[in-house]
Structure 1
Amino acid sequence: MAKRAFLIPSLMDDTLDPSSDATRTLTEKTYTELRTDIIEGRLLPGSKLRVEHLRQRYAVGAGTLRESLTRLVSDALVTAEGQRGFRVSPIAIEDLEDITRLRVHIETHALRESIRHGDDHWRSELRASYEDLSRLEQPLTRDNRGRWEALNLRFHEMLLAGRPSPWELKILRMLARHGERYRRYAMDLPGAVRDVHAEHAEIYELAMSGQDARAALALEAHICATPQVLSRAFREGRVRLPAADDRTG
């Protein structure tokens, strides 16, 4: 029986270049722009999303905007307040810890299954995604972080593509989006020292050599690194996450 085709790279096209799909609808484009602005913190956690203001910002009609916001509610990036409209979902260390627990639980199991069932085509695709990521993260800078986030997500998804599961992919993609909201705070911490490329290299080499148990342990440490750094900085007062208030997006 023929192997299932690897669809993950094509699924990632909108992340790598949101403007590349000529058939993208206006709603999809608005949704992508809103999502990016929330993840990047240009729309602050807890801020009120007033349709009349956002219509001017994104140059779209109220119907398109509301449809995009409704999709973001499904992503848990926006909260609906009944008749009072929409608000950017707040962020909190407790939420980050919960996101991390879920990622570790799902992603390490999926990685072990992927390594056990992956074939030569999977290893070839994984190698390509790793090489693309490696070229960009040596060094990783603030200027290339947006592109890095896309390639980082692609690498993590390719790690799991040896035995693809559409539902695991959907769940992990949502968790990864939320993780990005916190990672930007960790990356801006003064004096933060972390060799992300070395972490990726270790996971990649263990996966390629078929060492599923060790690869899962390396992946768990990698997933937990940012939450641990950020939680420590939060407790020490070196970073403060925005709290919900009446700011307008």
Structure 2
Amino acid sequence: MPRLPTPPTDAAEAAVPLAEQAYRRLRQSIVRCDFAPGQRLRVEELSRQFEISSSPLREALSRLAEQGLVQAFENRGFHVAPLSVAGIADLTRVRLLVECEALRDAMVHGDDAWEAGVVAAAHGLALVEKRLGDQAPVLDESWSGRHREFHLALYGGGTSPMLNNLVGVLFDNAERYRQFSARHRKIKRSKNAEHQQLMNAVLQRDADTALGLLRQHISGTERNVVEALISMAPGTLQ
């Protein structure tokens, strides 16, 4: 049974349009693997679970389908997108193209405020990792949130809103794979050193080193996910 989605907790969040609330909360549940890959998402059941009417939920599901987290089938409704070896390989290929370009753009155009935001995001992430100790960080919601903030902060100095929006969509797709992988990984992957090295290279505007580290970081996620997928269904994945 999926965890109950977190309802709005303050007036500002409650003022957000219902379709946006539905989108944020459903995206969060899908990304953290509360719903199984391929599971059908019945609007009437989601409406009861999220306490949101069907119209905003349908709008949210359509938006998530455009972003690759949900699949829409004629006459069969909405389903959580599957996880596969082919899927993570394709996602990694696109992430390498898009995120490397976004980081390159940020290093060229980022200002002092951007650098300060990167440092602050890295510090916030490190604090959570210190608190967690030997726990798998990706399964902690506070770590996942700060991890996302750190990576998006890296790209925040860029000049293309469309490129940065695409980075966010790809990151969420990758996060679902990371969440799945962490649940079935035998060896914990520590990312703290990777994040610190990446931040240092970015702040030094050392493009060759920073882009090399980013490629390793993204490719490392693919390796871990593939191992987890194969361990769950040996011989059945493409």
Residue correspondence of structure 1 range 212-231 to structure 2 within 5 A: 212-231=207-226
Q: Which runs of 5+ in 1 are unaligned?
A: 1-16, 244-249
Aligned to 1:46: 38
State the Cα distance separating 1:228 from its structure 2 match. 0.8
State the Cα distance separating 1:140 from its structure 2 match. 6.7
Specify the SS of the correspondent of 1:87: strand
The Cα offsets for residues 92-115 of structure 1, whole Å up to 9 and x where unpaired, read as 111111111111112122212322
Give the distance between the partners of 1:227 and 1:102, measured in 2 at CA. Answer: 12
Among 57, 62, 66, the residue aligned to 2:49: 57
Give the distance between the partners of 2:95 and 2:229, measured in 1 at CA. Answer: 21
Among 86, 107, 112, the residue aligned to 1:115: 107
More helix by share: 2
Aligned to 1:170: 165
Identical positions, percent = 30
Give the distance between the partners of 1:132 and 1:164, measured in 2 at CA. Answer: 25
Give the distance between the partners of 1:209 and 1:234, measured in 2 at CA. Answer: 37
CA RMSD of aligned residues (A): 2.3
Asked whether the equivalents of residues 18 and 32 of structure 1 are also in contact (C-alpha less than 8 Å), the reply is no
Q: Which runs of 5+ in 2 are unaligned?
A: 1-6
CA distance 1:65–1:119, change in 2 (3 Å): closer
State the Cα distance separating 1:42 from its structure 2 match. 1.5
Aligned to 1:11: none
The Cα offsets for residues 52-72 of structure 1, whole Å up to 9 and x where unpaired, read as 222221222222322222222
Give the distance between the partners of 1:230 and 1:141, measured in 2 at CA. Answer: 18
Asked whether the equivalents of residues 116 and 212 of structure 1 are also in contact (C-alpha less than 8 Å), the reply is no
Specify the SS of the correspondent of 1:169: helix
Instruction: Give the aligned length.
Output: 224
Amino acid at match of 2:232: V
Structure 1 segments of 4 or more deviating over 3 A? 17-20, 139-144, 232-235
Among 65, 74, 93, the residue aligned to 2:66: 74
With the length of structure 1 as denominator, give the TM-score of the two structures.
0.81
State the Cα distance separating 1:129 from its structure 2 match. 1.0
With the length of structure 2 as denominator, give the TM-score of the two structures.
0.85
Among 199, 203, 228, the residue aligned to 1:204: 199
